[in-house]
Amino acid sequence: MINLAEKQTHYLPFVESDPQASAAELRGQFQENSYLFFRGLVPSEKILQVRRAVLEVCMADGWLDPSTDLMDAIVRPGMKPTSEGYPGYSAVYRKVLRLPVFHDFPNDPNLLKIAGILLDIAPEEVLVHPRRIGRMTFPNNQGATTPPHQDYFYIRGSVDTYSCWIPLGECPVELGGLAIMPGSHRGGYLEHTARFQGAVGGVGIPVDESTATWHTTDFGLGDALFFHSHSIHKALPNLTSDRLRISTDNRYQRPQDRIEPDALLPHGVADEQFD
């Protein structure tokens, strides 16, 4: 277990929110922290159902060790790490995107309720971006870790678009969760000038990690993290020796607001590099 207090960068635990709190209270917490974090917001059985479906695809394509329990997501010995933008990754990812349980996941009523509160509309009015996003993060591949950035750099469209990040299974810090820079959305959009060779996304915001403060945590089953398109966030590296981290990243907005045409298309299968 990584001790966050011992890391050079300042990591503090997420401020937890109560999904039963008033809309005004939740919006106030968001304005303070640039995110809302909920424990157990999505039923664990739904998380495990999607996890199993995704891992069955990974197992069938030779990513996982067949001698171990599927749900442990143990990478096959000798398996070369791969990541977004590479053909070996995209071939598996296409199959994940076609899974009905994966596609339906962001429509969970509990997620729509929180998205509606943040957008100040009824849950049934929330527009879920058709571009469903999944992440399958290999161990021993720290250079591919997503750098600090704002989602608006990629999604454009309406500034008032909210992302929801959920790991499909328990995700302790060493498996590589998500971290948010508290209060960062209030600074508006920043230029993304830092280049990260090999990292997912590849472009980000320059951050002095020796002085930066981030919020993160060990994620449990069904935990959900909502944040604004201007909230600065990053992935943490998968520091395990043999476990695959899988997660979902979906976006919500008002139906009348502008949406970038690319957000209506499948994620991450058009622009590929070569292995």
Distance CA 121, CA 253 (A): 10
Predicted local confidence at residue 269, as pLDDT: 57
Task: Judge contact between 205 and 190, C-beta under 8 A.
Answer: yes
**For residue 190, pLDDT beyond 60:** yes
Phi-psi region of 85 (alpha: psi -120 to 50; beta: other; left: phi over 0): left
SS3 content of the chain, % helix, strand, coil (to 5): 30, 20, 50
More confident residue, 248 or 7: 248
Predicted local confidence at residue 267, as pLDDT: 86
Look-up: residue for tokens 């990292």? 199
Predicted local confidence at residue 4, as pLDDT: 46
Q: Based on the structure, what is the number of domains in the chain?
A: 1
**For residue 198, pLDDT beyond 90:** no
Predicted model pTM: 0.93
Q: Is residue 141 part of a domain?
A: yes
Predicted local confidence at residue 272, as pLDDT: 44
Q: Is residue 148 part of a domain?
A: yes
Query: Mean pLDDT throughout 63-70?
Result: 98
Predicted local confidence at residue 133, as pLDDT: 96
**For residue 6, pLDDT beyond 50:** no
Q: Is residue 249 part of a domain?
A: yes
In the chain, the DSSP E strands lie at: 10-13, 35-38, 127-128, 134-137, 162-167, 178-180, 194-195, 203-204, 213-216, 224-228, 233-235, 245-253
Please state the separation of Cα 250 from the chain's center in Å.
8
Q: Is residue 30 part of a domain?
A: yes
Q: Is residue 262 part of a domain?
A: no
Phi-psi region of 44 (alpha: psi -120 to 50; beta: other; left: phi over 0): alpha
Predicted local confidence at residue 196, as pLDDT: 85
More confident residue, 103 or 195: 103
Percent residues over pLDDT 70 in the chain: 94
Q: Is residue 260 part of a domain?
A: no
Q: What is the C-alpha R_g of the chain?
A: 18
Q: Is residue 271 part of a domain?
A: no
Distance CA 271, CA 87 (A): 10
Query: Mean pLDDT throughout 169-196?
Result: 95
- Picking from 143, 182, 175, 180, the residue whose alpha carbon sits closest to that of residue 165 is 180
Q: Is residue 131 part of a domain?
A: yes
Query: Mean pLDDT throughout 18-23?
Result: 98
The residue segments making up the domain with residue 109 are: 10-254
Query: Mean pLDDT throughout 113-127?
Result: 98
Q: Residue 49: which CATH number?
A: 2.60.120.620
Give 237's pLDDT tier (boundaries 50, 70, 90). very high
